[in-house]
Amino acid sequence: MAVVRIPPVLRPSTDGAKEVDAAGNSVGDVLRSLAQTHPSTESQLFADGGDLNRYVNVYLNDEDVRVLDGLDTPVGGNDVLVILPAMAGG
């Protein structure tokens, strides 16, 4: 199980949880598993075609999955996925 870190704006969709364990062997699998458990995250993470929304940054540990293999990036049991939205508060 990988750990997915949930940003504040998505926590209402995860019953307030800051971290969620989710199963899967790839970034896409882990995030779809998260969306199955917490359905309201799905539209926030995925576009209609099943790709990640362009405004959602996802990091495998400290690396942006866009420079890895995107949703196909392999994920191990000890990995951490960070979901990161832009914030504009100042």
Partner 1 sequence: MSPSGAEYIRKIKSEIAEVDPTAAHELAGNGNGVAFVDVRETDEFDRGHVPGATHIPRGYLESRIDGAVPDRNQHVVLYCASGQRSALAAKTLQELGYEHVESMTGGFTLWKDRGYEFDVPRTLSPEQRERYSRHMLVPEIGPEGQQKLLDAKVLLLGAGGLGSPTALYLAAAGVGTIGIVDDDEVDLSNLQRQVIHTTDRIGTPKVDSAQESMNAINPDVNVVKYQTRLDGSNIMEIIEGYDVIVDGADNFPTRYLLNDASVRLKIPVVSASILGFDGQLSVFAPYEGPCYRCLYPMPPPAELAPSCGANGVLGVLPGTMGLLQATEVVKLIVSAGEPLIGRLLLYEALGATFTELKVRRDPECPICSREPDEISDEEMGVFPDYEAFCAAAG
Residues that bind partner 1 (CB under 8 A): 7-10, 18, 44, 54-57, 59, 62-64, 67, 82, 84-90
Q: How far is the CB of 1 from partner 1 (least distance, A)?
A: 20
Phi, psi of 47 (to 5 degrees): -80, 175
Q: Which is nearer to partner 1, 23 or 80 (CB)?
A: 80
Give the CA distances from residue 17 to residues 52, 58, 62, 66, 73, in Å, rounded to whole numbers and listed in that order: 21, 17, 21, 25, 24
Beta carbon of residue 51, minimum distance to partner 1 (angstroms, whole number): 13
